[in-house]
Structure 1
């Protein structure tokens, strides 16, 4: 072999080695990425993953440092290390098998030689392909790729069923103030003594409000901003809405500008909308949502931390005990102003994968995740009791909602053992309200909340939602079809021109 041919052969060998390394790296990244997502978020849909990749990642880096560190370690460095180890093992094994095949003295048996040749051929040619195919299959199963493909070609359920709130007459009966509290990942499973030895939400139940026992999680509602959007706008959150035609690759600059949501409706009736939450407003577009839908005051981590050091906050932002201190003060100021208001809060301490131990909960001796859940429930109940002592419930109604079902957390296996899991909810302040049914979805909350705080919604429908509450003097309201959840589960996230119009720049 000439020096030139030897150099060319060496170059080809290195190129093949690099290509094999890159294929292994891609395959292992897909697997490790899926495992990381599962560990931190449970089993999210591809819609949720795409949403955060396309719209909400701007706030992730500075929102949860621990999450970023675990991603770097588990989804980037681990695949890199494993790919190096696999290629190194292949190189050594291939070298050994090649030498043995060229010196067959010890391999006189023909079947042994054939097996050795097959092993050498697999290692030298097909192994990366097989590994990548297996990784792609795992990734498709993990993120429900078949369901996503179905959504590109299936029936346009949304267009068939969406009722534009602009076409509905909403009138003020005896409108009262609203305090709307989204409790992170709060579900009814935590009330089950068989799972946790006692009802972790007993303090909330003791408030004796109106509850819907079957608050189910429809598609496009299963993470915080999706749950907020669905309950306030009666529409799901879908990643496919963010890109279209010439806008491909550029983020939409406003959040559902053509949707009519709770804040918009209340603003039109003279309400002051205020949002307070402990995490960063930039994460998942939450701040943009509230600002674009007539919340005149929007407070997140940066607005509320007021000189706090990192040691005084969790990885997301303020602990819930600090949030409720600010919420009490703002609520008192709003009451003094004497004008109608909506105060919306979101908690964070029960967020997976581990939860967050506030100073208040630590002082109570909380050492595990069920303790965080109980402590959070007690703090929400204490906030409502504060309102009762102040006499605020005379002119204010309270709605407590889990934003979605719990994702990965230390007790997720216990939660997942239940045949059907439902989201916690409670409506406080109207003893005479009538429940129309037990099963509700996120979309039903928009008309239900309006009815609850003293408005009449003509026909009881807004967006995809059907009111589940009516005052005694209201006319009968339509009920959703018995199969509504199953139909939504199958077709709600399908491509929809009507849904896409909600994201296009407003022409109003």
Structure 2
């Protein structure tokens, strides 16, 4: 019993330190963390999370907790011969550990206002229902000569990164070119001539939600994990978005991104609402724009993005039809960004240098557009997608400073009626984009957004940021109706019989096998034989997704090599997974010339010692 008592006490002590350190680390890593944001971070996959953040947690929390546990065990063993000292040490540890756990939980509970979060999610609000303006019910009139649109989402870009004199929050401006670009054009700061930008409200704080919000005027409040809309058959089929409106007006529309469009449901949303062409990582790899084995960061970096954008804009402008090219940069994604060869060591901090590099590249790209024949009839809109999720980049920002995304409207067809400094949300971009293109909107409101070129007050100007976020955190009958078709994890669990029926009419079949791990070569081999398609698949490549972790945080993609006999082989290298010994899932896909992936089947391989 004494040994058991020591063990239990050590475990309790370890948990107490771990909870204390973890709560402190969490609140420090994500400044001004809310419960909604915590839920998002917990549910989101680890893809995009820098290894440095994971190492920091291990060192700051896990290792320290283990060291304390070892010290406690040593103390208990040493004092075991002295019964009184032994009992006192165990009792003291239990009391201190209990208090530590209680106080840590209480502190987090208070800081995140979990009581209010719980109450909100059990309360219905009519705020969204009362203030939503359905675009299908609004008279929208385009000018006789329709203007082109170039909409550039800048990953994690905030006006915060500018210096204080220009409306930012930093001592030194790390985005000087973007700052000047916004000051020279329109950001709705009125006569104050400083930076101004959109506030990212609840439900708009990650990339797909930001893109959805700025084109639909709605927050992405869904009953599933935030980046899981790619698992659905439809993406808010009951709404009318910017893409829908432009499609009806005869626009040719395209989404250009350096990652895989499927992620987060972006492909589903932009194809269903506007029939956009998908020019993503897979597309350019399949047409030879980048090498087949090329992959950096999330796919390809912004150097490629702007190179491809110039070529595509040249092609689009040769048509008589108006166009909408929507782009998303990626180099500034957290944590610390992607340091390309063009980035200079100016600030001594990688993320600052990446932001500065992005500032130059984006401005140079805009300057290139201005030199093109199509520019006179083209509106350019540049907006950060959401505030950065980087763990420490904004540590020095005053708590009272309102962080907003970078915003500028270039070559607008209209001028603002209101010359005062406007308080607005990223949701207001929806009607404001159309207004900048010379479109007349009856009532100047679409979705939950307001046309900022008009005198109509925004929801933030009427109700305030905190009030709106509180209402967004509650349930809404309208949002429930708009998301009624979304299938949850339980809905997606297909019965065994349905699975059998689906397999009876496959589009692609193959015989899959695995040659066991060979420690001498450090690999196991996946063989794909007798690959047959039913004629509907224009086969371009065979790929394997390999992972062991439940959240797929270690996922690696492999291109299969075709043998002379027509079979395919993939060598899965242990070094790619840090030689972690585990059973690995292997999903085999075929890709067609349009970049579409179709699952062939799954096998398992194992890395053993």
TM-score (norm 1): 0.78
1:204–1:378 Cα contact (<8 Å) kept: no
Residue 158 (1) aligns with residue 128 (2): yes
Change (3 A) 1:477 1:83: closer
Change (3 A) 1:397 1:307: closer
1:122-178 per-residue CA deviation (whole Å, 9 max, x = no partner) reads: 32x445543433443354356553442242144512223222222223232343111
Change (3 A) 1:353 1:72: closer
1:24–1:132 Cα contact (<8 Å) kept: no
Alignment partner, residue 220 of structure 2: 237
Instruction: Identify the range of structure 1 (436-445 vs 402-411) with the bigger mean alpha-carbon deviation.
Output: 402-411
Name structure 1 gaps, 5 residues minimum: 1-8, 103-112, 244-249, 471-475
**d(CA) in 1 for partners of 2:23 and 2:232?**
27
Q: How far apart are 1:316 and its partner, in Å?
A: 2.8
**d(CA) in 2 for partners of 1:199 and 1:356?**
16
Alignment partner, residue 136 of structure 1: 105
Change (3 A) 1:34 1:199: closer
Which structure shows the bigger proportion of residues in helix conformation? Answer: 1
Q: How far apart are 1:334 and its partner, in Å?
A: 0.9
Q: Secondary structure at the match of 2:462?
A: coil
1:186–1:403 Cα contact (<8 Å) kept: yes
Q: Secondary structure at the match of 2:343?
A: helix
2:414–2:453 Cα contact (<8 Å) kept: no
2:437 to 453, 462, 482: 453
Q: Secondary structure at the match of 1:91?
A: helix
Residue 430 (1) aligns with residue 419 (2): no
2:231–2:265 Cα contact (<8 Å) kept: no
**d(CA) in 2 for partners of 1:88 and 1:498?**
55
Alignment partner, residue 350 of structure 1: 332
Q: How far apart are 1:21 and its partner, in Å?
A: 2.8
Instruction: Identify the range of structure 1 (146-155 vs 270-279) with the bigger mean alpha-carbon deviation.
Output: 146-155
2:150 to 168, 179, 198: 179
**d(CA) in 1 for partners of 2:481 and 2:352?**
43
Q: How far apart are 1:83 and its partner, in Å?
A: 4.5
**d(CA) in 2 for partners of 1:338 and 1:434?**
30
Alignment partner, residue 336 of structure 1: 318
Q: How does 1:74-473 map to 2 (within 5 A)?
A: 74-75=56-57, 81-101=63-83, 118-123=88-93, 125-140=94-109, 143-154=112-123, 156=125, 157-174=127-144, 175-192=146-163, 195-198=170-173, 200-202=175-177, 205-206=180-181, 208-213=184-189, 214-215=196-197, 216-239=199-222, 241-242=223-224, 252-304=232-284, 306-308=289-291, 314-362=296-344, 368=349, 369-408=351-390, 411-416=393-398, 419-430=401-412, 432-436=414-418, 438-470=422-454
Change (3 A) 1:422 1:84: closer
Q: Secondary structure at the match of 1:325?
A: helix
Instruction: Identify the range of structure 1 (178-187 vs 282-291) with the bigger mean alpha-carbon deviation.
Output: 282-291
2:258–2:329 Cα contact (<8 Å) kept: yes
Change (3 A) 1:23 1:273: farther
**d(CA) in 2 for partners of 1:384 and 1:374?**
16
Alignment partner, residue 4 of structure 1: none
**d(CA) in 2 for partners of 1:411 and 1:82?**
25
**d(CA) in 1 for partners of 2:12 and 2:59?**
14
Name structure 2 gaps, 5 residues minimum: 190-195, 487-609
1:413-443 per-residue CA deviation (whole Å, 9 max, x = no partner) reads: 3444663333321111136422435222111
**d(CA) in 2 for partners of 1:317 and 1:133?**
44
1:361–1:375 Cα contact (<8 Å) kept: yes
**d(CA) in 2 for partners of 1:71 and 1:18?**
30
Change (3 A) 1:78 1:361: closer
1:277–1:301 Cα contact (<8 Å) kept: yes
**d(CA) in 2 for partners of 1:251 and 1:24?**
39
Q: How far apart are 1:303 and its partner, in Å?
A: 3.3
Q: How does 1:49-64 map to 2 (within 5 A)?
A: 49-51=38-40, 54=43, 57=45, 60-61=46-47, 64=48
1:459–1:478 Cα contact (<8 Å) kept: no
Which structure has more relative contact order (CA 8 Å, sep 6+)? It is 1
Q: Secondary structure at the match of 1:400?
A: strand
Q: How far apart are 1:307 and its partner, in Å?
A: 4.4
**d(CA) in 1 for partners of 2:435 and 2:413?**
13
Alignment partner, residue 35 of structure 1: 25
**d(CA) in 2 for partners of 1:313 and 1:251?**
24
1:2-42 per-residue CA deviation (whole Å, 9 max, x = no partner) reads: xxxxxxx48xx549836963884597268437726853x54
Alignment partner, residue 107 of structure 1: none
1:17–1:87 Cα contact (<8 Å) kept: no
Q: Secondary structure at the match of 1:399?
A: strand
1:258–1:505 Cα contact (<8 Å) kept: no
Aligned length, in residue pairs: 461
TM-score (norm 2): 0.66
Q: CA RMSD in A?
A: 3.6
**d(CA) in 1 for partners of 2:32 and 2:467?**
21
2:152–2:327 Cα contact (<8 Å) kept: yes
**d(CA) in 1 for partners of 2:270 and 2:17?**
39
